[in-house]
Structure 1
Amino acid sequence: MVKNHGKKSRAKAKARRTGAAHASAAAGTLHTHTPLPDMAALGKLPYAAGRELDTELAARLVAACRAGCKPCQASLAEKLRTEQRPTLAALAGAVYGELAGIGPGAFASSASRSWAPLARAVNAGEGDGGASDLLEDALDHWAMGTPLPADLVDKLTSAPPRQRPADPMDAFRKAGIKVVTLDDLDLGDDVDTYALAPAYGVMPMQTSTPEGQAMPMLLLYPEEESAGIEDLEARTDWEHWGLHGMPDMDPHWRVRARISDRSLQGLVHVGRDGEDDIELWRAAESVSLPADWWGLLDRVQHILVVGPVTEPEAPGAMEAAGDAGELLAVVARVSFH
């Protein structure tokens, strides 16, 4: 009896130390899930509130989620909820932190809309504070490989955002060759610069957010040979997207929609002066959209813009472009008028 009691005590202590289920610890069948993600960047988030985080526990939990190991996930999550509230708050903050400024919308599940007060309650140790639901919802995102909507590691480490390629005319300027642009000619409204740029068409579609909510999508396809991935890379700072998760939201990108006839009018980038500085697409004619798609657009008021896809109606064309690394995407605002 004494021997068995000692064995049980050691197993319980091991379970507390490792976060493993008591049965696994008692049987000596502990296992690990690899690779363990690097969670050091969690400590740089404001949601840690200056407290020391258990990044090793967080890494083991995320690895277990990605491996689909329910026993380890359950035991490690329980340990996190009961002993490491600041770490729990940081895990949730990595996912939902950027969404706080957007408000309810395309990405906002009930957990994301209320994550900030829940995280404060969790961090302060005030009861459960919705910790179970908050953690489960956040882990759904971590299990997909990265905290959404933005990659935490890219945001907090040395990886800079993608920059637009340098203007090829700069080489001529450096060589002392005078370069004259349309802006220099000051032709005013006599020249429609949109007609001089590569042309795109758009196809309204629908997708789902990682939370399972319906999301309107606009697929761009080239209408001439000069349009395509190289042109979009030069004219935008959209991120390369592999159809996993959701790209960043950029409020400067706007899809303009006209209420009177339920039509889309254009896709533009608004500069700091409030004027359009990039016009990627302009409707040649007004086409009324289906009532259900327009209703979704009105509710969400953000839209996932993806492209370019050469043959948008071909089965698997968008997936093939994503797999080839030739797909750019951004979440744009919808501007109704």
Structure 2
Amino acid sequence: MTGNKKLYDAAKALAAAEGIPFTRARTRILADLAAAKQSGHQQSGHQHPASDLGFLADAPYEQADLELAAALVGACRAGCSSCQATLIPKVLAGNRATVGALATISALMPAPMGLSSAVPRPVREWNPLARQALEDDNGAAALAALEAMTPDDLDTILDFTLNMWAFSGASIKPVVLDLDDPDVEDELGPVYTLLPGIEQTPHGPLPLLLLEPETNPAGAEDLSTRCAWPRWDAPPVPGSDPVFPDPDPRWRVRLNIGGRAVEEIARVDDEGFDDITVWRAPEPLVRMPDEWWDLVDRVQHVLLCGPVFAHGRASAAEALAAAAATSTGVMAVLATTSFW
């Protein structure tokens, strides 16, 4: 049995013994706490400076325990696994209003990050309800959604939220964006989310990144005019020989090796400087599917396609087929990869 497996088993045992939820996002904290207990170095009787979360009192979650929330944020910023493992179960077991108040930080992001498919699905689905709760000063619908969530989804929201608090390091003043306001969309500019996929070609599989518009400036006109991507007749008609774009060395998909994640999609000029950026990853980086990453590592090219509308589609292939059937069709470019 490897050391990692031993820690994993110890973390599960600790969770069972102390009633701590054992979900994917909590594994590292529980493992750290289990290791500390085994080594005899577990801290006790200590405190962390409580963060100032007073502005959350204006959030529409009257029953939120802001004292508990502030203590947990302080433990996260201090990197204390022991206190996190103690406080997180209290938050998850308590009134969902405390989770809602803490998670308000993700709904207040004044940037495309909150719109991106790189954000975990439960966070992405809950954020519109949280924004509406702030606008209406009524958190009933957002709280009901939290109450109805599975333990894994609720834990994912809390884990993402706590990472944001830890990274912020300071109180954040809330900013609410009205995404239906044309001025807001103009300020954001063309915003896309990414959907990874794999296309079969006569020479073997080819990794795809499908671009889905998130703001009005994004779409077929942006990709064909600003980015100068040619139209691609995709997917190929059954029985015909598929034709794929030739590689364009100006377009780069920059990949983070340690995080196995896409960091940026950009075009470089003749001097090697970026002149167009189509997509930039939010923080934290989101790991790409293993099958997709391993294929990119082999072929060193990615087919960029858009615009697609993936909502309600079961797969990237279905989204691509639906986009190809529209009057605007699909724009595409075969980009090279850069590993950072």
Same fold (TM over 0.5): no
Q: TM-score range by the shorter chain?
A: 0.3 to 0.5
